[in-house]
């Protein structure tokens, strides 16, 4: 922004700035005044005086028209990357006269996008104008902004006046969650090392077909669960309720966000963490997320917000669990050598994924080397190596 634009911006936000018509009319007034001083003609003084009076009036009225206005913002519902944010503003006219010819501008956070504006023809006295607009999102994040600007040149259009209102906003854009049908990293974690896992499996095998009780049939129940002998006795269909197995295997998905990442690789790692977390939740597993900044987290909304806000290279405040198998997501190959027994890993190599340096020399745990140029969803469902 050059010096002239800065001056105009300061004048518009603190006082008024002339529009093109205002500059033109001011020039005409000066010409009439100059001609009057040369000819001493009274009618020229009158014309120049009327024009100057009109300019003064046009400079005072826009600032007065922006008084007695309140701006409020509704809470913004979180969305996933690629969806539209629904942003709603309420502009209340508290004056006994209508507010006309306004230009409303929502000054978004620069990383989210450029400001959005809309014209408002009129707001009736003691009434509220609601402005709802949809803003597309492209990348995850937690975005905050606080300023809404109203601009007007009413009623004559010779001078512009702009004022700001505080309307804090917080918009959360969640990372994309891939629809996984299976995920070996989650399905096979700790199998070869966890005695508890096999104990749980044996418990499952022993109880998966045991009947816990009977209840009346409801529409949609599988016919294989109908207990025909009891149904014949009572004259109504009875359905078996089976024992439900709940294992104690705990899964911890760790995003190594305290190290340096390339932008593309880190965004893929966040998507992978979110996708595996929700796959484990759908599989009714005891799953948690860990990052060096937040520590262990559990709960859909809490995890999504943490993944939306995390950045590469953030300060490490909490150490990773050392006594439980982990699913370690990293771009740092040496960190794979310190993982607990039964852990799994996903590595985004700095070099080409086809080079020998991309795969760790010491591989005491199974894992996957991710190729950023290939489909992440397919790679999350491939067998481990």
Q: What is the pLDDT along the chain (385 residues), one digit of tens a residue?
A: 688 889 999 999 999 999 999 999 999 999 999 999 888 888 999 999 999 999 999 999 999 999 999 999 999 999 999 999 999 999 999 999 999 999 999 999 999 999 999 999 999 999 999 999 999 999 999 999 999 999 999 999 999 999 999 999 999 999 999 999 989 888 877 555 444 444 444 444 444 445 667 778 876 667 777 888 888 888 888 877 654 444 446 889 999 999 999 999 999 999 999 999 999 999 888 999 999 999 999 999 999 999 999 999 998 888 888 888 899 999 988 888 888 888 899 999 876 555 444 555 455 678 889 998 999 999 999 887 6
Query: Could you give the C-alpha distances from 9 to 6, 18, 102, 185, in angstroms and in order?
Result: 5, 11, 18, 56
**pTM to 2 decimals?**
0.77
Which residue ranges make up each domain of the chain? 3-65, 69-174, 184-189+247-380, 209-244
CATH fourth-level superfamily of 69-174: Immunoglobulins (2.60.40.10)
The partner residues of 174 in beta bridges, in order of sequence, read 80
Question: What is the C-alpha end-to-end distance of the chain, expressed in Å?
Answer: 55
What is the sign, positive or negative, of the torsion defined by CA atoms of 257, 262, 267, 272? Answer: negative
**Three-state secondary-structure class, residue 154:** coil
Q: With contact defined as beta carbons under 8 Å apart, do 295 and 310 qualify?
A: no
């Amino acid at each position: 922004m050059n010096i002239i634009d800065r001056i105009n911006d300061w004048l518009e936000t603190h006082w008024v700035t002339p529009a093109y018509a205002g500059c033109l009319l001011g020039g005409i007034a000066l010409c009439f005044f100059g001609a009057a001083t040369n000819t001493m003609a009274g009618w020229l003084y009158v014309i120049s005086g009327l024009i100057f009076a009109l300019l003064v009036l046009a400079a005072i009225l826009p600032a007065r028209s922006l008084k007695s206005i309140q701006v409020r913002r509704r809470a913004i519902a979180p969305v996933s990357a690629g969806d539209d944010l629904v942003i709603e503003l309420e502009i209340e006219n508290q004056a006994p006269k209508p507010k006309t010819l306004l230009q409303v501008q929502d000054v978004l956070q620069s990383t989210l996008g450029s400001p959005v504006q809309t014209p408002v023809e009129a707001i009736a006295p003691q009434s509220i104008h609601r402005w709802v607009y949809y803003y597309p999102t492209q990348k995850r994040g937690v975005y905050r902004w606080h300023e809404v600007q109203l601009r007007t040149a009413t009623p004559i259009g010779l001078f512009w006046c702009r004022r700001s209102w505080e309307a804090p906003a917080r918009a959360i854009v969640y990372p994309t969650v891939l629809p996984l049908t299976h995920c070996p990293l989650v399905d096979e974690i700790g199998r070869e090392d966890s005695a508890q896992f096999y104990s749980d499996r044996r418990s499952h095998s022993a109880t998966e077909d045991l009947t816990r009780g009977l209840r009346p049939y409801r529409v949609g129940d599988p016919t294989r669960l109908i207990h025909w002998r009891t149904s014949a006795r009572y004259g109504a269909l009875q359905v078996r309720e089976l024992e439900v197995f709940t294992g104690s295997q705990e899964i911890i998905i760790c995003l190594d966000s305290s190290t340096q990442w390339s932008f593309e690789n880190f965004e893929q790692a966040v998507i992978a963490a979110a996708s595996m977390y929700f796959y484990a939740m759908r599989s009714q597993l005891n799953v948690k997320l860990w990052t060096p900044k937040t520590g262990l987290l559990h709960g859909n909304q809490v995890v999504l917000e943490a993944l939306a806000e995390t950045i590469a290279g953030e300060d490490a405040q909490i150490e990773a669990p050392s006594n439980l198998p982990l699913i370690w997501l990293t771009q740092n190959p040496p960190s794979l050598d310190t993982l607990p027994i039964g852990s799994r890993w996903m590595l985004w190599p700095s070099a080409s994924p086809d080079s020998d340096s991309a795969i760790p020399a010491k591989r005491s745990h199974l894992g996957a080397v991710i190729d950023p140029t290939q489909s992440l969803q397919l790679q999350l469902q491939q067998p481990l190596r």
